[in-house]
Amino acid sequence: MPLELAFELMMMLTSGCALLVSAWLFWRARSRRSMKALAGFGVMMALWCAGHVAVFYGLDTLGMALILANPLMPTFFLDFAIGFVNQGPGQRPWLSRLARYRGLLYGAAVLVSIITLWQGGGGIIAFGPFEHYFVFQGSGWFNIGYTIFIGVLAHALLLWGFVHHKGNRRRSIAAMFAAGAWGLLLATSFIFPSLGLHWYPWPMLLLPSYVLLLVYGVVRYQMLEINAWANRALLWILMTGLLLGLMALFSAMAGRLGMQALAAVPQWQLWLYSLLLLMLALALYRPVSALVERLVYPGSRLDEQLLETWLAQLRDASGWNALAQTAERLLARQMGQAVTIRLLTQTPFYEPGPGLELWCLHHAQGWQFRLKGFDDVTPGMRLTAEVFGSLLATRCGLLERSLQLAEAERKRVSEQHLVELGGLSAAMAHELRNPLNIISMATAGLDAERKNMIQDQLKRADRLIADLLTYSGQLQIQARAVPLEPLLKSLQPQFDWQRVQFDYVLPANYTLWADAYRLQQVLTNLIDNALAFVRNQPQGHIRLEAGDAPGVLWLHNNGPAIEADMQGRLFRPFVTRRQGGSGLGLAIVQRIMEAHGGHIRHRNDAGWPVTFEFSFPEEPAS
């Protein structure tokens, strides 16, 4: 191939690549001013290369005008650098002011271009294989000097941004510097004939790579889709190089293998045929791939938009039930039949039902999915379920971590609230007990009946203060094995049973792993609360018995059943049905049980009007 033709083709290729990349940038970054400036840089690069082509065809005036307009190229790049660096939280006022005066920079570039063109800043010479080649003359050196100055200024601004930015923006700037060094190396040979060095500009044959590398280095950290495009482009470039090498080797070996007719074919024709076949394969790859996928996986219609829809709707589910319902609806809509979704923290012991089921199981290594009942479905349906199961398992892991963080934050706020409440309660107790003591001392001279009435009310107030301190204070649990029967016998004399029957049904030597003092508080509060309701009942009865699991106790009484609207609020502070009660008894019991790692709940299915079930943790193995 003639060297002049090779240079001309490379200039055309660079111009075409620059225009295509600029159009893509302008379309993809409509709202980003800096990317529009980079697109302008690409357009000017295309016009600069077109100027060389115009010179080759004898259009000297047009060609020189386009080449001498090269100050606009670094001006567009400087505009891009200003906008790219001055983004994010680190914006600088001086850069914002510079951006407002960008019009002056463009005006100066246009003025330099016009003056150098008017004063004959370039000429056309012939050397080597070139009949027409542009060289700088006279004022043209000012043109190239101004161009270099603006380019250096733009890269100095990028260097400043590299120092002050982090993350992807800093990586983009580093990629721009690497591409700029490559572009400088390639463009240096363009100016040699202007210096009297009539060397063929070999490096400029690689100029198309500069535009692509520069734009790719900028946007690869900003737009993820460009990386997928670059991956495909690099693959096809490598395939092209490999194919051309194989064809060259085959052409050289054809004569020795007895294929004289093939050996007589010019090598460039073999390369051309190979490139045409490769381009045809590239054009047919997507439709053939889609056809093969439909044949292998009939009924499967998975694309990026569908996956994004699935991810968005699964992300909106804020709880396990909502996530399972959303997943069932999405998968059933895609497959055209009902699918049961089960989100399980451990492997179940039951067998799957007759329909289609997708299980998401929690293992030590994370969430994984399993398909049940999919043996007879088409491969396309199974592929759809597998892709959906993978997305659902990922979402289960994210939701689990989100709920754990929310629970940790709730506990932190609750503990902080209790600390504040504890301090407030201690101060109130101190302030209240002082006047109560004074009132108690003032009753010394009163008659016995009035004195007893006042003392009873003072004891009630003191008990309320003690309950408030217990509820709001920090609970320190020192658990050990506590025999329950001796503790019950020691508590019984403390209560005014009147005619209420109390008994317990416990295994021999029954023990609980608990704090003895706090266990006594739990039993005292629960029995005292039950007595308040059954003491006036005919044949009042309270029974404590062991539950159906170790550490579980049931406390029954035959008092009036608890209303349905009260059952959900029983353990809240200051909620009570008891006349004269503080409303803290059950709330204190719940706090003590939670401090042990246990729980308490109300039950109405144990055969008694009222039953409280409270459980303590099992005694750890020695």
pLDDT > 90: what percent of the chain?
A: 11
The CA angle 327-331-335, to the nearest 5 degrees, is: 170
Q: What is the DSSP letter of 196?
A: T
List, as one string, the DSSP characters of 520-554: HHHHHHHHHHHHHHHTTSTT-EEEEEE-SSTTEEE
Lowest mean pLDDT among 29-43, 316-330, 428-442: 428-442
User: In this structure, what token pair is assigned to residue 304?
Assistant: 């990026």
For 90-106, the pLDDT digits (tens) are 577 888 888 888 899 99
For residue 108, pLDDT beyond 90 = yes
Q: In which element (H, E) is residue 401 found? A: helix 379-442
The pLDDT assigned to 301 comes to 65
Backbone angles phi, psi at 433, to 5 degrees: -70, -30
Q: What average pLDDT does this structure show over 41-70? A: 91
User: In this structure, what token pair is assigned to residue 234?
Assistant: 């690099």
Does the reported pTM lie above 0.85?
no
Residue scoring higher pLDDT (53 or 286): 53
Q: Cα–Cα distance between 385 and 310 in angstroms, integer?
A: 12
Q: Give the contacts of 239 (CB within 8 A, at least 6 positions apart).
A: 278
The pLDDT assigned to 146 comes to 94
Q: What is the dihedral of CA 286, 288, 289, 291, to 10 degrees?
A: 120
Q: Give the contacts of 121 (CB within 8 A, at least 6 positions apart).
A: 64, 68, 136, 137, 138, 139, 140, 141, 142, 143
User: In this structure, what token pair is assigned to residue 145?
Assistant: 């000097």
For residue 118, pLDDT beyond 80 = yes
Q: Cα–Cα distance between 460 and 446 in angstroms, integer?
A: 19
For residue 469, pLDDT beyond 70 = no
| Residue 65 C-beta-side C-alpha neighbours within 13 Å | 7
For residue 293, pLDDT beyond 70 = no
For 13-55, the pLDDT digits (tens) are 888 888 888 887 777 666 566 778 888 988 999 999 999 999 9
Question: Please, are residues 519 and 485 in contact by the beta-carbon 8 Å criterion?
Answer: no
Give CA separation, 111 vs 44, 69, 76, 107, 159, in Å: 16, 10, 15, 6, 28
Give CA separation, 101 vs 93, 94, 96, 217, 235, in Å: 13, 11, 9, 27, 43
The pLDDT assigned to 198 comes to 86
Residue scoring higher pLDDT (346 or 35): 35
Q: Give the contacts of 347 (CB within 8 A, at least 6 positions apart).
A: 361
Alpha helices in 320-378 (DSSP H): 320-335
For residue 341, pLDDT beyond 80 = yes
Q: What is the dihedral of CA 596, 597, 600, 601, to 10 degrees?
A: 170
- What three-state secondary structure class fits 234? helix
For 237-276, the pLDDT digits (tens) are 677 777 777 777 777 777 777 777 767 777 667 777 777 8
For residue 460, pLDDT beyond 70 = no
For residue 348, pLDDT beyond 70 = no
Burial pattern 536-545, b for ≥16 Cβ within 10 A else e, equals eeeebbbbbe
The pLDDT assigned to 288 comes to 78
Statement: 3-223 belongs to CATH 3.90.1200.10: no
Residue among 45, 52, 55 at smallest CA distance from 20 = 45
The residue written with tokens 């090779």 in the block is 6
Strand pairing class (480-483; 511-514) = antiparallel
Alpha helices in 220-340 (DSSP H): 225-254, 260-264, 267-296, 304-316, 320-335
Residue scoring higher pLDDT (461 or 279): 279
For residue 145, pLDDT beyond 90 = yes
Residue scoring higher pLDDT (34 or 314): 314
Beta strands in 547-592 (DSSP E): 552-557
Compute the chain's Rg from CA coordinates: 43
Beta bridge partners of 362: 367
Q: Cα–Cα distance between 112 and 107 in angstroms, integer?
A: 9
Phi-psi category of residue 99: left, alpha or beta, with phi > 0 → left and psi -120 to 50 → alpha: alpha
Backbone angles phi, psi at 350, to 5 degrees: -95, 155
Give CA separation, 612 vs 193, 587, 591, 596, in Å: 99, 13, 15, 17
Residue among 593, 615, 591 at smallest CA distance from 603 = 615
Q: What average pLDDT does this structure show over 144-158? A: 91
Residue spans per domain, the chain: 3-223, 242-296, 304-406, 476-615
Statement: 476-615 belongs to CATH 3.40.50.410: no
Highest averaged pLDDT of the listed ranges 300-304, 327-331, 517-521, 594-598: 327-331
Beta strands in 114-261 (DSSP E): 122-127, 130-136
Confidence of residue 373 (pLDDT cuts 50, 70, 90): confident
Confidence of residue 224 (pLDDT cuts 50, 70, 90): very low
Q: What average pLDDT does this structure show over 463-480? A: 68
Backbone angles phi, psi at 378, to 5 degrees: -70, 155
Q: What average pLDDT does this structure show over 503-518? A: 87
Q: What is the mean pLDDT of the chain?
A: 80
Give CA separation, 390 vs 325, 331, 358, in Å: 17, 12, 11
pLDDT > 70: what percent of the chain?
A: 82
Question: Please, are residues 72 and 151 in contact by the beta-carbon 8 Å criterion?
Answer: no
